[in-house]
Each structure stands twice: as C-alpha cells, then as structure tokens.
Copies of this chain bind each other. A is one copy, B any other.
C-alpha cells in the first residue's frame, strides 16, 4: 500500500494492490495526470498540450509536461527549452523548468543534438517513458500533462498501464480519415478503462490573412457524427491561425485574448 500513498489515483482507483503495474516515486506529489492523445500524427497533440500547460500555469497551477513521444519529440521547442540539457542529481532526473516555471521532460533534453534519431526497439522506448514518470523529480504538481505519440502501440499501452492517468484529452481534426484513426485511440482507452475527457478539434478552419474569409479546408466534416458515435463531448475548437501554427516556431509566448478564452473554456471542462 505504500506505493499508493504517492499515487495520483489514490482513492479513485479500482485496482487492488495486486496487479497494479504502477511504480510511484515517493519524492513526487502529483495531483492530476492528463494524457493528450490522438492516435493520428500531426493533428496538434503537442501544440494542444503546450497551450493547456500554459493556460493552467497562468491560472496559478503548478504544471509539468512529460513528452512521451520518444522518436518525434516536439515539446522542448514548443516550451522554449530546446537547448537545455537535463541531468541526474543522484536522487533522480531533474526536469527542465521553462521561463514560466513549467517543468519539462523529453528525450530531446538528453541527446547531444536535437536532430539525433532515437532508433530503439519498442520495449526500450517504453522503458524510457516509464522512467520519465518513475525517475524524474517532478516534485509537487497540480497537473502533469503527457504528450503521447501517434498510434496505439507500445508507448500508448505503457502510458495507460504504467502511469496512473486520470483522463485523456483526444485531439482530432475535421477530416473523416482522421476521425477513423482517432476512434481507434478512443476504443483503446475504453478497453483499458481510461476516462476520455472529450475532444479538442484542431484546424477547424483557416482564416485568410488577406480577405479574412474563413476557409473550411476539409469536405465531409462528420465531427458531430464522430462525437455521437464515440459518446464524447467537444471540449473546444482551435482554428489554424498563424498564431497557433507558429507556436512551433516561436514557442508558446504571448497568447491572444481570443485564443485565451477558448483555452479557458477547455481547461474549465477538464480540470
């Protein structure tokens, strides 16, 4: 039971002590763990993770981001810490704090050059993700957000089985092909009894900077059907604006009032 004392799922967990795969670090006190997932790549999981972290932080919560995308990590650039290097202090791995004091751990904080490829087999990748939970000195956090990689393979399974996540935010875009693949991720979470908190629809539209016209790029938007088939609610919609797209280039710095109000509405539904 000692392992349960530092578990964010203490008193909310249906697993008896036997059969629990989770190793909690007694040095950490994490209140809530939220996974950001999609199943599909390139829909904006890392961008949504970074924006939610920034918003929670500005509301006064202490926040960490665990970048579980080992072979395609985006978080260090998005959080403005791409040149930092994490180190171990003997007790564990010390995460990097970004200028807003958001704690970050990513494989790209541990390699000599950020473009160095991680050519590892599945079990080794999964072990790295487990260590990012178990061996990192997160300290006290109100929220730990986990940026998950595409797919429903090894890493997704490891996060769902070895980290006591309280819920998942699914990120999708209004494209039928993507909804199909996101459905796979939702069904996987259901199989593993993980709560899906709702869906953030990214790239809902593009606004032409010249004529202000809102461009709906995708035909056959069946978002409502997808949400009702999967029994999920829409947490919010993010347009494909220069502000959001270029977060990947400039990092999350200032946020416009419009985006801030969308984020506030999303955060209020999941916190």
Label chain A's interface by main secondary structure: loop
A interface, how many residues as a size bin? 35 or more
A85 contacts chain B at the CB level, 8 A cutoff: no
Separation of A259 and B215 alpha carbons in the complex (Å):
21
Complex CA gap A78/B178 in Å reads 12
Contact A217 B191, beta carbon cutoff 8 Å: no
Looking at the assembled complex, report how far the CB atom of A244 sits from the nearest CB atom of chain B, in whole angstroms: 10
Answer whether residue A245 sits at the interface, using C-beta atoms and an 8 A cutoff.
yes
Residue A180 at the B interface, CB < 8 A?
yes
The answer, yes or no, to whether A206 is at the interface (CB within 8 Å) is yes
Q: Determine the residue in chain B with the shortest Cβ distance to A149.
A: B151
Docked complex: A247-268 residues within 8 A CB-CB of B: 248-250
- In the complex formed, the residue of B with least CB distance to A77 is B177
A60 at the interface (CB under 8 A from B): no
| Beta-carbon nearest neighbor of A242 in chain B | B217
Question: Which residue of chain B lies nearest to A78 when distances are taken between CB atoms in the complex?
Answer: B177
